[in-house]
Structure 1
Amino acid sequence: MKKVLVPILLFVACSWFSSCDLDDDSPNFYFAALTAVEADVPESFELGKTYDIEVTYERPNGCTFFEGFDVTKTDQTDRDVVVIGSVLTDEENACPQEATEVVATLKFHVIYTGEYHFRFYAGEDENEEPIYLEYTVPVDPEPTN
């Protein structure tokens, strides 16, 4: 029975993956880095706790949607954070061009002592060099009761 069932299941699984065919070869969206305006970080962290960091970012138009955060660990307690959005490219729908500020929450778990250094991507300067909002948050050595 096992010799018959395994090839049948393998055939079914392969047919699921090979049967997908998209009508259009071009995607109708792309991902983009969004500009952080402000981050509401606590004055200090406690080791082992998880914090909600509210990040205000600029949504440049009505066709840009929040997708999440790209958090890069550059050193043990250093983090570069980029707000990621998807931008629709569907030319059939008009996008409101009004920029708005939106707040998203970054959940952050503290696992090291010392100080955490955050750099939130805030766009580019006139030389196309990245600009960052920088925050330093110390970790309390002793938890409060």
Structure 2
Amino acid sequence: MKKVLMPFILIVACSWFISCEVDDDSPNFYFTALNTIEAEVPESFEFGETYDIEVTFLRPNGCTFFEGFDVVQTAETSRDVVVIGSVLTDENRVCTQAVEEVVATLKFKVIYTDDYIFRFYAGDDADGNATYLEYTVPITEGVSSN
């Protein structure tokens, strides 16, 4: 019995020393959509190639950070793109209120031979409806080396 009880007591004692108390387990951030102000898309795409699309967006304050892109395929060659940010909500954190333009790169691989349509989320209008910057990129034939 002593051999069975000793490991159990040891585990309980170690967990007491290792454990820590967290006062607040609520999230200290949330995700938000950021407004795109410009996207530098190529004049054309070539099938099978990968492109860097430079996206300029607004960072509204010092507590908002770029997290990535949410790209939704709305049709075979149509994409809605939203810049995603995280906003820190720590009570003790002081945030600058300066709005800053930031550039991030969206890597995009061309997998279809039809023209692509990109719609980048640019914010909401006065009625609360989403607005978009829209770009159409045609596909060009690759140069053959025959």
* Common fold by TM > 0.5: yes
Give the corresponding residue for 2:14.
Answer: none
Quickly say closer, same or farther: Cα 1:28–1:76, change in 2 above 3 A.
Answer: same
Mapping of 1:1-145 within 5 angstroms?
A: 23-143=23-143
Quickly say closer, same or farther: Cα 1:144–1:123, change in 2 above 3 A.
Answer: farther
**Aligned residue pairs, count:** 127
Quickly say closer, same or farther: Cα 1:135–1:22, change in 2 above 3 A.
Answer: farther
Residue 25 of structure 1, CA deviation: 2.4
Quickly say closer, same or farther: Cα 1:22–1:112, change in 2 above 3 A.
Answer: farther
Quickly say closer, same or farther: Cα 1:143–1:22, change in 2 above 3 A.
Answer: farther
Q: Distance in 1 between matches of 2:49 and 2:23?
A: 47
Structure with larger Rg: 2
Residue 93 of structure 1, CA deviation: 1.3
**TM-score, normalised with respect to structure 1:** 0.83
Cα deviations across residues 18-38 of structure 1 (Å, max 9, x unaligned)?
Answer: x9x854221000000000000
Residue 84 of structure 1, CA deviation: 0.1
Could you tell me the percent identity over the aligned residues? 67
Q: Distance in 2 between matches of 1:41 and 1:25?
A: 42
Q: Distance in 2 between matches of 1:36 and 1:51?
A: 19
**TM-score, normalised with respect to structure 2:** 0.82
Give the corresponding residue for 1:13.
Answer: none
Q: Distance in 1 between matches of 2:86 and 2:22?
A: 20
1:66 maps to a residue whose letter is: F
Say what the alpha-carbon RMSD is for the aligned residues: 1.7
1:39 maps to a residue whose letter is: A
Structure 2 segments unaligned to the other structure (5+ residues): 1-18
Q: Distance in 2 between matches of 1:47 and 1:131?
A: 29
